[in-house]
Structure 1
Amino acid sequence: MASLAFTPTPTPNLDLSNSKAKPTKSLKKVIGKPPHLSIPQIQHKNCQSNLQESYFNTIFSLCGQGRIQAAFKILTEMDRRKFPVGPDIYGLLLQGCLYDRALFMGQQIHSRIVKQGDSLATNEYLETKLFIFYAKCHLYEVANIFFYRLSVKNVFSWAAYIGLNCRMGFYREALMGLCEMIDSGILADNFVVPNILKACAAMQWITFGRGVHGYVVKMGFDRCVFVSSSLVDAYGKCGILEDARKVFDNMPDKNVVTWNSMIGSYVQNGFDVEAAQVFSDMRLEDVKPNQVTLLSFLSASANLGAVEEGKQAHAIAVLGGYELDSILGGSILNFYSKVGLIKDAELVFGMMLEKDAVAWNLLISSYVQYGQVEKALDLCHLMRLDNMRFDSVTLASILSACSIMGNIELGKEGHCYCIRNNLVSDLAVANSMIDMYAKCEKIADARHIFNSTMKKDLLLWNTLLTAYAELGKIGEALKLFYGMQLESVPPNVMSWNAVILGFIRNGQINEAQDMFSHMQAVGIHPNLMTFTTLIYGLVQNGFGNEAILVFQKMQECGIRANLPIIISTISACTDVASLQYGRAIHGYILRHALLSPIPVATALADMYSKCGNMDQARRVLV
């Protein structure tokens, strides 16, 4: 051994003079002729061995520290001193390149291996290492060449192959790889299973995924946090939240990845309340949220309009030292925009280290949504000064701003920009152009855009349909309504609402009521906008009793009234002098805490006074 000094073995002092025993020929053959090595030769050989081991240990240490360039210099030194480099050292260097994703240096090592000849180039160990290296560097075709050259594939090479296919989005190939792996007699371990579950979720192969779940339980992998978290994520992405929650609840140990999987599953499937509750439970369990957690929770808070919860997530991000990059900063910006806190959104936008097109578009669309169109256009100007190009989302916001302002000239400039930059075929842009021209009372231009759009989605049909309805052009609206059905585009509740609006704008109240009945007969459920449009139209045209009946229908449907419906229904009770219905509406208002807005109290007082109950009218206003 390298640590031991050379000491010759002493010859036993045996007296064989009187012994009859003599060395036999066979004994000589067994012992053989002793090597004639001098002490300097032996010392030189040991020195070489010690230095070889020292080189190996140094390269091993440097690769472990991520200092691959320093390790590569040792390899160059070994070449200079004519030291042989074997598969073990090349394997270490490839592993170091793999950790650092140092593709160029890994390719240099590969080149050295090839130059050494077939003894190394066809070495099974090195071929496996090269395959795993190229697989982790996402060089799919090169990795595949090495994989299929392997005469013996172990669990590590199969894991790398399946993982590579998952990362490249070749999920079917990943699942087929699992089948081949099992056929070759190799069982999937807890590193392979998460990738298989990811592939099942992407392919929506629920039955296959359940089979993998059974395998996980049988092999005892369900005790692995990483595997169980992947199960939660897979069930969530397949929309099977009950099973996802069952796996989550049965886990004895949960890390932040587990909590993220459950929160993310709820958010992806629209269960924002449940996502917020799991986040709260996570905090109670003293698990520190990471950036992924905050992204999901901010999305849930934005969808719920939960202002305090979203602000809490922002505070956690600040206290955690997270940078406001394009991802986290964009998510916080999206939250503030959705809940209408434009000032806070502006502050976040100003603090963002990186502003991509998504961030610019978020703030621009927020300005448009909340009527601050001048600010929206100013921000568009700053966006151009920052060398950012307008995309389809930006143009849709600009055209919407033109609709609000009624600025047809600016709208036409936007239209020209769309033509020059090949954006007219984008459905969002086409939809905004139709809306802009319609709002500027250029319905013929809106129709031209509609006709020139090759692929029309439901939103495009509804936009033009609503434009005709708002202008009271019920004839054109009906032609479009029936035309979309001939084009195999089934109308949705928005389409029916537009036709009802068109009849009301045209003074055809009976026809509007008929459409309301017809839509329910064909299985279309009226929404809040349906009731708002119909009740307001009935009241405005003197059909108070009918408006009250529609309000009752709305309650039967379980739809909560908004402020315009409440005021319109109170006006209906006033018009027909129905104190009984008026009191019923008053009770509804009290139960749903809708009395605070001044217009509601004023409408109630007016109703009571016109029905002859002055005392109640005064009490409402107190």
Structure 2
Amino acid sequence: MFMLLSYLLWLASSLSVEKMLIFVSKTAPNLFCFSTTNDNYFKKFLSSQNGFFCFKKPSSRHIFESSNLHSSLTTTSLSTSLTKTIDHKTVDYNIRICRFCEVGNLNKAMELLYSSQKSELEATTYCSILQLCAELKSLEDGKRVHSIICDNGIEVDGVLGSKLVFMYVTCGALKEGRRVFNNIVNEKVFIWNLMINEYSKIGNIKESIYLFKEMIGLGIEVNSYTFSFVLKCFAAQRNVKEGELVHGYLLKLGFGCYNTVVNSLIAFYFKCRRVESARKLFDELNDKDVVSWNSMINGYVANGLAERGLEVFKVMLYSGFKVDLATLVTVLAGCANCGALTIGRAVHTIGIKSCFNKEITFNNTLLDMYSKCGDLDGAVRVFEKIGDKSVVSWTSMIAGYAREGVSGGSIRLFREMERGGVEPDVFAITSILHACACEGFLEIGKDVHNYIKENNMQSSLYVSNALMDMYAKCGSMEDAELVFSEIPVKDIVSWNTMIGGYSKNSFPNEALNLFVAMLQELEPDGRTMACILPACASLAALDRGREIHGYILRNGYSSDRHIANAIVDMYVKSGVLVLARLLFDSIPAKDLISWTVMIAGYGMHGFGREAIATFNDMRNAGVEPDEVSFISILYACSHSGLVDEGWRFFNLMRYEFKIEPKLEHYACMVDLLSRTGNLSKAYRFIEMMPIPPDATVWGALLCGCRIHHDVKLAEKVAEHVFELEPENTGYYVLLANIYAEAEKWEEMKRLRVKISQRGLKKNPGCSWIEIKGKVNIFVAGGSSHPQAKRIESLLKLLKQKMKEEGYFPKTKFALINTDEMEKEVALCGHSEKLAMAFGILSLPPGKTIRVSKNLRVCRDCHEMAKFMSRTASREIVLRDSNRFHHFKDGHCSCRGFW
């Protein structure tokens, strides 16, 4: 006690009374007044009502005494040098408010603040209460304190001003904090750093950088945190140039050896995709800490270089550095990105040994890693061991099931999550919508949509885009359109989803119209190009496709391999095979899709030998074919009559590449045998199939029966087809054609009655041709086109010339049993004839006529096209539902195989 009192006396001689009272209140708050007889050290200490004591420095002058222990203290002279009088209540208010602030009692502190007088409180007291307002995020109380400061005329200087700024910023009132900040003269780096960091948090990077530059201009001394904050800003902007200037500036000031600064520089360079610059800084850093290693691993993973990130992790372990939770979480993310399941399992073991398996973040990332690496069982085991599952845990598992194609498991988990009282977030909702999209679960998707409406989640653009994607992939474009129309502010993903949905669901005109509308709202991106090109390909809209190709070249999107493949596909399906090949050859790194598009292109144009050569080139390039590649090459063999080659590829697929044939492969082989006249072999091949044949397989044989006029086999095959797809009118029409060619009118009549009884209607023939960017559509027998009379006149003239040259229309293809004149009129109205005639009338001499049709071209129209190409000296490219026909000088590229 003696030592304590001696120390207090020393403090009294060097500190102000107020500051010493605060010190005593902290060190001995329950110390009561006591006395001693030794006047050489002190005279008397008097207690106040709240338990604090007040002391006075010994003096030769009169020492005061209190008449009542619980009464207010009287004022006393401290010394000859201390003439200012101290009011006990003033000291009392300051101490008591500070004491309440220390224990976190904001209400009591505010009560005392209101009851105090203007002159009673010190700036430090206001600072204490503002600090507590900040800690408790009590903005309203903070504003009240600010108001009292202003009403009392207290000068808001650097310290008090800084505390006010801190309170406002911490409570989320950045605008109010900035107003105070602008009105104070402050050279404290802390408050500048606070403002810079806070603006960057809300995404106002421009203002953060402005403050940094103003700070430098005013000569405020920066510290390592300043550079860390501002480098984050330049990283967010991908502003390499200014970031490098800051790098030079901090080196000049000697901050190049600060770990925090170098770590921030590493993160900056990685964010700006300057990977080698980041690596150089890391290698030159002598005193690496765990943050340094984590920055390198995370930087590589974020830049799509997960394998290099994992190598850094291995070196980190070999160097003896102790990993932390952030290390393992980042490494697991890298394993998920590159499928490194073995390393992921090792990290799992390290996590268990380090007791991180109790951390929900670690478990969720671990769950995601197993899921993305294809180990669904491992993911399930982790999931089941998580005690308190968060919504992230459920979402990761739902997404894992969806990714593996087990959409039923996703839906089951989603419902289980709901029953468990875990409220799904937008990521869970989008994951389940993705599962519905993958499996075509339209009704379940609609149930999820209802849940979204009930919980008011449709305001999330992320959710709306996922809804549109689900509806589009389930084939319900009307529902997708409704969602799209209700989005107030659409982003690029919204537009791309709809355009891609229209393209994939065979609404190419709608896709092109929406693309035009999009151009009025915002700039398309590479994904837009990849979505709109298939629409151009579907319509064979070559002029529009060329315009989009030009846009791609001008904006540098052609380096994207997906877009390059889509361009090749567009030219292939628009009939410009030579240009498609040139563009294909210009792709520097061809993937399997690139090769398959080109093989399929040769096949549909009837160039089977070229398709085989391309297939062989693909294998020589080290690219292994998949089941789709084999469908393309078998299709090419079929449409070129290459029987031996077709069998070779079929056996190659089964025995060398171990790919089990699917129905599409069997259909190609049946088509190949049927087209080449091997009808009996084709029939036996079907009977020997290890899987039940579908209507497509039998339909291929039915087409062969038509080519080779085998009515008896056709009737037998038709029974199988009608049993499998009784509502498909195309097969009835095909059999009707077979009867018509054989002039079996009675059988055809019975078939028509059967069609009528079933209420079936034949899909109308439809052809289209693009002229000057506009798609002109013609329907069989239609006369609504503005130039219908000119088209009819041209066709009559061509028909007359054909007769003069000894060609007579094959009226049996009219499929009606009536007089020859009516049959000729019906044939003249076939949609492809109308479109080709319009092309001759509308396009300049020498311009290739490009026509597309929704059905297979009939023989009469095929003959007419050959005659047109010779008579009009035009090249005609006709794409029907099955393949391309290139007509030139009276010949067709198909050589009868269609």
Distance across 2 between alignment mates of 1:81 and 1:284: 53
Provide the TM-score with structure 1 as the length reference.
Answer: 0.72
Residue 459 of structure 1 corresponds to 593
- 1:231–1:423: structure 2 CA closer, same or farther, 3 Å change rule? closer
Aligned 8 A contact 1:477 1:502 in 2: yes
Distance across 2 between alignment mates of 1:215 and 1:83: 45
1:361 pairs, out of 480, 484, 496, with 496
Q: Does 1:499 align with 2:633?
A: yes
How far does residue 349 in structure 1 lie from its aligned partner after superposition? 1.1
Residue 602 of structure 2 corresponds to 468
Distance across 1 between alignment mates of 2:588 and 2:405: 32
Residue 611 of structure 2 corresponds to 477
Q: Does 1:489 align with 2:568?
A: no
1:447 pairs, out of 581, 589, 592, with 581
RMSD between superposed Cα atoms in Å: 5.4
Aligned 8 A contact 2:401 2:407 in 1: yes
Map residues 417-456 of structure 1 onto 2, 5 A cutoff. 417-456=551-590
Q: Does 1:414 align with 2:548?
A: yes
Map residues 237-248 of structure 1 onto 2, 5 A cutoff. 237-248=372-383
1:77 pairs, out of 121, 137, 156, with 156
The residue type equivalent to 2:127 in the other structure is: Y
Distance across 2 between alignment mates of 1:600 and 1:454: 43
Q: Does 1:260 align with 2:339?
A: no
- 1:498–1:192: structure 2 CA closer, same or farther, 3 Å change rule? closer
Distance across 2 between alignment mates of 1:214 and 1:410: 57
Q: Does 1:597 align with 2:727?
A: yes
How far does residue 316 in structure 1 lie from its aligned partner after superposition? 1.9
How big is each residue's C-alpha offset from its partner over 1:291-331, in whole Å with a ceiling of 9 and x where there is no partner?
A: 01011111111111111121122222222212444422221
How far does residue 569 in structure 1 lie from its aligned partner after superposition? 6.1
Map residues 116-131 of structure 1 onto 2, 5 A cutoff. none
Q: Does 1:312 align with 2:447?
A: yes
Q: Which has the larger radius of gyration?
A: 2
Residue 512 of structure 2 corresponds to 377
Q: Which runs of 5+ in 2 are unaligned?
A: 1-20, 43-55, 60-77, 99-121, 171-187, 237-246, 263-287, 302-308, 737-749, 759-898
1:527 pairs, out of 662, 672, 681, with 662
How far does residue 245 in structure 1 lie from its aligned partner after superposition? 0.6
Residue 17 of structure 1 corresponds to none
How big is each residue's C-alpha offset from its partner over 1:168-209, in whole Å with a ceiling of 9 and x where there is no partner?
A: 55655994898599857xx846x7764564455456554554
Distance across 1 between alignment mates of 2:432 and 2:163: 57
Map residues 167-206 of structure 1 onto 2, 5 A cutoff. 168=299, 175=313, 183=321, 188=324, 194-195=329-330, 197-198=332-333, 201-202=336-337, 206=341
How far does residue 285 in structure 1 lie from its aligned partner after superposition? 2.4
Any idea what SS the aligned residue of 1:435 has?
Answer: helix
The residue type equivalent to 2:598 in the other structure is: L
How far does residue 601 in structure 1 lie from its aligned partner after superposition? 10
- 1:182–1:322: structure 2 CA closer, same or farther, 3 Å change rule? farther
How far does residue 246 in structure 1 lie from its aligned partner after superposition? 0.6
Distance across 1 between alignment mates of 2:155 and 2:331: 41
Provide the TM-score with structure 2 as the length reference.
Answer: 0.52
Residue 563 of structure 1 corresponds to 695
- 1:471–1:8: structure 2 CA closer, same or farther, 3 Å change rule? closer
Question: Identity of paired residues, percent?
Answer: 22
Residue 673 of structure 2 corresponds to 538
- 1:131–1:237: structure 2 CA closer, same or farther, 3 Å change rule? farther
How far does residue 344 in structure 1 lie from its aligned partner after superposition? 0.8
Aligned 8 A contact 2:540 2:574 in 1: yes
The residue type equivalent to 2:576 in the other structure is: K
Distance across 2 between alignment mates of 1:377 and 1:116: 57
Q: Does 1:337 align with 2:472?
A: yes
Q: Does 1:288 align with 2:423?
A: yes
How big is each residue's C-alpha offset from its partner over 1:463-521, in whole Å with a ceiling of 9 and x where there is no partner?
A: 22222212222222222222333333344333333332222222333442333223323
Aligned 8 A contact 1:493 1:524 in 2: no
Any idea what SS the aligned residue of 1:461 has?
Answer: helix
Residue 611 of structure 1 corresponds to none
Residue 771 of structure 2 corresponds to none
Greater alpha carbon shift after TM alignment, 281-290 vs 540-549: 540-549
Aligned 8 A contact 1:408 1:440 in 2: yes
Q: Does 1:55 align with 2:134?
A: no
Aligned 8 A contact 2:646 2:672 in 1: no
Any idea what SS the aligned residue of 2:611 has?
Answer: helix
Aligned 8 A contact 1:135 1:160 in 2: no
- 1:423–1:537: structure 2 CA closer, same or farther, 3 Å change rule? same
Aligned 8 A contact 1:392 1:428 in 2: no
How big is each residue's C-alpha offset from its partner over 1:260-301, in whole Å with a ceiling of 9 and x where there is no partner?
A: 121123334444333233223223323221101011111111
Any idea what SS the aligned residue of 1:353 has?
Answer: coil
Any idea what SS the aligned residue of 1:489 has?
Answer: coil
Distance across 2 between alignment mates of 1:83 and 1:400: 60
Distance across 2 between alignment mates of 1:366 and 1:160: 45
Task: Please identify which structure carries the higher helix content.
Answer: 1
Residue 322 of structure 1 corresponds to 457
Aligned 8 A contact 1:535 1:565 in 2: yes
- 1:7–1:397: structure 2 CA closer, same or farther, 3 Å change rule? closer
The residue type equivalent to 2:569 in the other structure is: D
Distance across 2 between alignment mates of 1:363 and 1:276: 25
Distance across 1 between alignment mates of 2:415 and 2:32: 74
Greater alpha carbon shift after TM alignment, 49-58 vs 61-70: 61-70
- 1:168–1:538: structure 2 CA closer, same or farther, 3 Å change rule? same
How big is each residue's C-alpha offset from its partner over 1:369-402, in whole Å with a ceiling of 9 and x where there is no partner?
A: 233222122111111111x223344334444333
Aligned 8 A contact 1:206 1:238 in 2: yes
Distance across 1 between alignment mates of 2:460 and 2:425: 14
Q: Which runs of 5+ in 1 are unaligned?
A: 15-22, 122-126, 151-156, 607-613
- 1:133–1:214: structure 2 CA closer, same or farther, 3 Å change rule? farther
Aligned 8 A contact 2:702 2:718 in 1: no
Any idea what SS the aligned residue of 1:302 has?
Answer: helix
Any idea what SS the aligned residue of 1:327 has?
Answer: helix
